[in-house]
């Protein structure tokens, strides 16, 4: 072109039919982008990025077709070509912007960038329309030379915008993402670089180079395959643009056979050349054997299947975006809406868009039973042992079993015998094993999907991997359930031991009454004391029965004034020798605890001090207040204990020095309760000298007046 407009009016707008290089060049670009648009249209699936790629491919097709028609001699105005080129550039820029914004996820920043870019694109479109309209040069207050330069600057700016977007996409792509984005950047960047060079050259020399213009179609057409590869590699697009696997398989088979025959021909040549008189015969035998081997290999179903898997794994984009699939799987598996077994079913079923499933679990007896269901009825399992063949097969092979494939070709599942009642389950489709450390913990029956009609090797690998992960989750669930049951039994056993210990103390009170009855039954004071003791025993046994029913012990906390409580306990213990003595008591010593439990703790320690002390010795009880704690000190001059006994045996449950009359839970229960209210028990003892127990309790302010000093009768 001599100038921006003069030569194009002659070459593109004329009615002549002169064929030039521009016709095949732009026809090549036209067919390349037409094929790209058709491929994307058939694999679009309604995704937003697919729509933008289709728009850009269609605009590129129209642009190349318009120029090819003009080069061929059709009446196509240059303004129409410029509008087509403007729509092509803007559509590719919008697609690049969408790709760039997707790297920010659904963040406000990405949405803002996309909205601002749409606004800028609209402005550029208006400017482009304005400066490509034929009347614009006549009515705009600019000279013709300046007008042409403004149009060239507009094309340079659009090309530069596309290059900046490509640079940002490549810069923001990680090392793993560049494997897929590099072809996108090379493909789209190639024609933006070419346009930038061509229009910069035109802006410098005041005309568009005819050679650059005519070669432009070939350059743009060569970019289309690179874009196809980029879309096929990038799982974010998910457009499934790829050559048919069957075409690749048969092509690879033919190429492999050709290479094989070529090698065999070379070998046959050397056999004939070096074989002497036997050369021809050996060559014929060798070729016949090679042909038989080739036919055998080509008709082997196993080898053909392995070749298909090899080609699919190494020459095609993966069917699944494993990062997205695994995030979705783990999110479902670790959710909190349903129980763990139901979430196991849902997480595996959703990998194949299945609407339901059933989970079988291996019980303690080694048989499999239904653990959970999701949108499927309870199956009629006549005999649990009928699943032995299935579970042994899963343990040995770790295979995902396709029921349709099992019915059509049972030989693929050699050694597997599925029970009739299992095959009769409605909409049964897949059986996914849950394998953990080569043990089948269970399996999931997956209901038939309305979207998936068959699974391939990739689906099987994904389901097998998901089954192994779900098996560890199921094992953790079973361990948690066993731990909960163990803790429940532990709590019940501990409560039972405490209650039996209290019953032993009550029995000791009743035995003491019987022992003293013959001697003191004629004394009114004794009768009054007996009635009070029996009343207290009945009250304590009633509370023990309530604790057995509720499973809760000592939950009635109240503010207790320790002086009155200890005075009552010392008075009740004075029926035995040596009689305890209550010493100094802080007047404001108030704690918050359960009265019955605290009385049991003090009574047990006082009783043990009496048991370990001779009748002529002394047992003393005192109360001190130190800061925000109260110290109850119980001293005796008894046999004492060494440090090893205090450390290893004193607070050890079920370890008693009283023979058959002791249970060994009193000291353990006392310390556990004191610690539960924020206190502790300290012990200082020396053999032959005596012991000192210090019960430390946190202070509690009086709640609404004086603390409770109700006398509940004698305690032991």
Domain ranges of the chain: 6-233, 245-315, 322-475, 554-698
- Give the list of residues 6+ apart from residue 171 with CB closer than 8 angstroms, or none: none
pLDDT in tens, 81-104: 888 888 888 888 888 877 777 654
Tokens of 522: 């004629």
pLDDT, the chain, mean = 75
Q: Is pLDDT at 231 greater than 90 in this prediction? A: no
Q: Is pLDDT at 400 greater than 70 in this prediction? A: yes
Average of pLDDT values for 461-477?
88
> pLDDT grade, residue 336 (50/70/90)?
low
Q: Is pLDDT at 641 greater than 70 in this prediction? A: yes
Q: Could you write out the DSSP letters of every residue in 54-78?
A: HHHHHHHHHHHHHHHHHHHT----H
> pLDDT grade, residue 273 (50/70/90)?
low
> pLDDT grade, residue 656 (50/70/90)?
low
- Cα–Cα dist 570/564, whole Å: 10
Per-residue model confidence (pLDDT) at position 10: 32
Out of 264-273, 365-374, 458-467, 505-514, least confident range? 264-273
Q: Is pLDDT at 353 greater than 80 in this prediction? A: yes
Per-residue model confidence (pLDDT) at position 16: 39
- Give the list of residues 6+ apart from residue 341 with CB closer than 8 angstroms, or none: 359, 361, 371, 372, 474, 477
Per-residue model confidence (pLDDT) at position 177: 65
What's the CA angle centered on 108, arms 103 and 114, to 5 degrees?
A: 65
Q: Are 322-475 and 554-698 in the same CATH fold?
A: no
More confident residue, 177 or 46: 177
Per-residue model confidence (pLDDT) at position 715: 37
Average of pLDDT values for 519-548?
73
Out of 28-37, 38-47, 198-207, 438-447, least confident range? 38-47
Average of pLDDT values for 595-606?
86
- Cα–Cα dist 344/352, whole Å: 14
Average of pLDDT values for 396-415?
88
Strand, coil or helix: what is 494?
helix
Q: Considering the domain 6-233 in this protein, what is its CATH number?
A: 1.20.1070.10
Q: Is pLDDT at 317 greater than 50 in this prediction? A: yes
Average of pLDDT values for 28-40?
86
Buried/exposed code over 275-312 (b: 16+ C-beta within 10 A; e: otherwise): eeeebeeebeebbeebeeeeeeeeeeeeeeeebbeebb
Out of 164-173, 356-365, 440-449, least confident range? 164-173
Out of 160-169, 337-346, 498-507, 621-630, least confident range? 498-507
Domain 322-475 fold: Beta-Lactamase (3.30.450)
Helix residue spans in 437-456 (DSSP H): none
Helix residue spans in 206-339 (DSSP H): 210-233, 245-274, 279-298, 301-315, 322-333
Per-residue model confidence (pLDDT) at position 434: 93
Query: What counts of helices (H) and strands (E) characterise the chain?
Result: 23, 12
Strand, coil or helix: what is 432?
strand
Q: Is pLDDT at 28 greater than 80 in this prediction? A: yes
> pLDDT grade, residue 408 (50/70/90)?
confident
Average of pLDDT values for 515-522?
73
In the chain, pLDDT over 90 holds for what percent of residues?
7
pLDDT in tens, 143-197: 666 667 777 777 888 888 888 888 777 777 665 566 667 778 888 888 888 888 8
**Residue 617, φ and ψ in degrees, nearest 5:** -90, -170
> pLDDT grade, residue 621 (50/70/90)?
very high
More confident residue, 252 or 412: 412
Average of pLDDT values for 47-64?
81
Strand, coil or helix: what is 369?
strand
Domain 554-698 fold: Heat Shock Protein 90 (3.30.565)
Per-residue model confidence (pLDDT) at position 109: 47
Q: In what order do the strands lie in the sheet with 439-447?
A: 368-374, 357-362, 439-447, 428-436, 401-402
What is the DSSP-derived secondary structure letter of residue 638? Answer: S
Q: Is pLDDT at 313 greater than 80 in this prediction? A: no
Q: Are 61 and 33 in contact (CB under 8 A)?
A: yes
End-to-end CA distance of the chain: 118
Out of 310-319, 341-350, 625-634, least confident range? 310-319
Q: Could you write out the DSSP letters of every residue in 104-141?
A: TTT-HHHHHHHHHHHHHHHHHHHHHHHHHSTTHHHHSS
């Amino acid at each position: 072109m001599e100038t921006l407009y003069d030569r194009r009016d002659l070459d593109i707008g004329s009615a002549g039919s002169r064929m030039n290089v521009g016709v095949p060049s732009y026809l090549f670009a036209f067919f390349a982008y037409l094929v790209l648009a058709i491929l994307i249209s058939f694999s679009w699936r309604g995704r937003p990025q697919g729509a933008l790629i289709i728009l850009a491919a269609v605009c590129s097709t129209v642009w190349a077709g318009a120029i090819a028609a003009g080069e061929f001699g059709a009446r196509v105005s240059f303004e129409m070509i410029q509008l087509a080129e403007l729509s092509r550039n803007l559509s590719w820029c919008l697609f690049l912007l969408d790709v760039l914004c997707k790297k920010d996820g659904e963040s406000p920043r990405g949405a803002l960038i996309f909205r601002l870019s749409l606004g800028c694109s609209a402005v550029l479109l208006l400017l482009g329309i304005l400066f490509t309209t034929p009347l614009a040069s006549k009515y705009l207050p600019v000279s013709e030379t300046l007008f042409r330069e403004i149009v060239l600057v507009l094309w340079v700016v659009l090309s530069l915008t596309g290059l900046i977007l490509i640079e940002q996409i490549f810069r923001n792509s990680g090392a793993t993402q560049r494997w897929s984005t590099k072809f996108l950047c090379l493909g789209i960047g190639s024609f933006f670089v070419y346009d930038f060079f061509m229009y910069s050259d035109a802006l410098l020399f005041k005309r568009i180079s005819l050679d650059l213009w005519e070669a432009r179609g070939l350059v743009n057409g060569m970019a289309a395959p690179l874009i196809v590869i980029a879309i096929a590699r990038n799982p974010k697009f998910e457009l499934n643009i790829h050559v048919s696997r069957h075409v690749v398989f048969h092509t690879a088979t033919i190429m492999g056979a050709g290479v094989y025959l070529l090698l065999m021909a070379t070998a046959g040549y050397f056999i004939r050349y070096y074989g002497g008189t036997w050369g021809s015969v050996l060559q014929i035998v060798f070729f016949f054997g090679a042909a038989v081997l080739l036919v055998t290999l080509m008709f082997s179903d196993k080898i053909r299947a392995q070749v298909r898997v090899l080609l699919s794994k190494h020459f095609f984009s993966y069917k699944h975006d494993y990062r997205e699939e695994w995030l979705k799987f783990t999110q479902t598996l670790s959710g909190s809406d349903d129980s763990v077994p139901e979430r196991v079913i849902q997480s595996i079923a959703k990998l194949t868009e299945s609407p339901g499933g059933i989970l079988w679990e291996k019980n303690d007896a080694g048989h499999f039973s239904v653990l959970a269901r999701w949108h499927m009825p309870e199956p009629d399992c006549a005999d649990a042992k009928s699943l032995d063949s299935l579970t042994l097969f899963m343990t040995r092979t770790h295979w995902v079993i396709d029921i349709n494939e099992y019915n059509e070709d049972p030989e693929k599942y050699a050694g597997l015998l599925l029970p009739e009642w299992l095959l009769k389950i409605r909409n049964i489709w897949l059986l996914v094993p849950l394998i953990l450390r080569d043990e089948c913990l269970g399996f999931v029956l997956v209901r038939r999907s309305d979207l998936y009609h068959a699974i391939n090797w990739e689906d099987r690998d994904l389901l097998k991997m998901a089954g192994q992960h779900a098996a560890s989750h199921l094992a953790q669930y079973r361990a948690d359930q066993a731990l909960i049951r163990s803790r429940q039994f532990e709590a019940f056993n501990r409560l039972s031991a405490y209650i039996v210990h209290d019953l032993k103390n009550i029995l000791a009170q009743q035995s003491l009454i019987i022992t003293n009855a013959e001697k003191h039954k004629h004394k009114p004071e004794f009768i009054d004391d007996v009635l009070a003791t029996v009343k207290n025993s009945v009250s304590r046994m009633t509370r023990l029965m309530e604790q057995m029913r509720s499973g809760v012990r000592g939950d009635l906390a109240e503010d207790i004034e320790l002086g009155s409580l200890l005075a009552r306990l010392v008075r009740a213990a004075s029926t035995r020798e040596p009689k305890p003595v209550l010493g100094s008591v802080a007047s404001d010593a108030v704690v918050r605890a359960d009265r019955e439990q605290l009385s049991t703790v003090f009574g047990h320690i006082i009783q043990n001090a009496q048991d370990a002390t001779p009748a002529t010795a002394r047992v003393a009880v005192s109360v001190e207040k130190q800061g925000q704690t109260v110290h109850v000190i119980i001293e005796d001059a008894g046999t004492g204990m060494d440090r090893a006994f205090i450390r290893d045996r004193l607070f050890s449950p079920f370890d008693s020095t009283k023979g058959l009359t002791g249970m060994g839970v009193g000291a353990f229960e006392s310390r556990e309760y004191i610690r539960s209210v924020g206190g502790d028990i300290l012990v200082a003892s020396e053999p032959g000298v005596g012991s000192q127990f210090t019960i430390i309790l946190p202070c509690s302010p009086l709640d609404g007046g004086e603390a409770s000093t109700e006398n509940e009768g004698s305690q032991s």
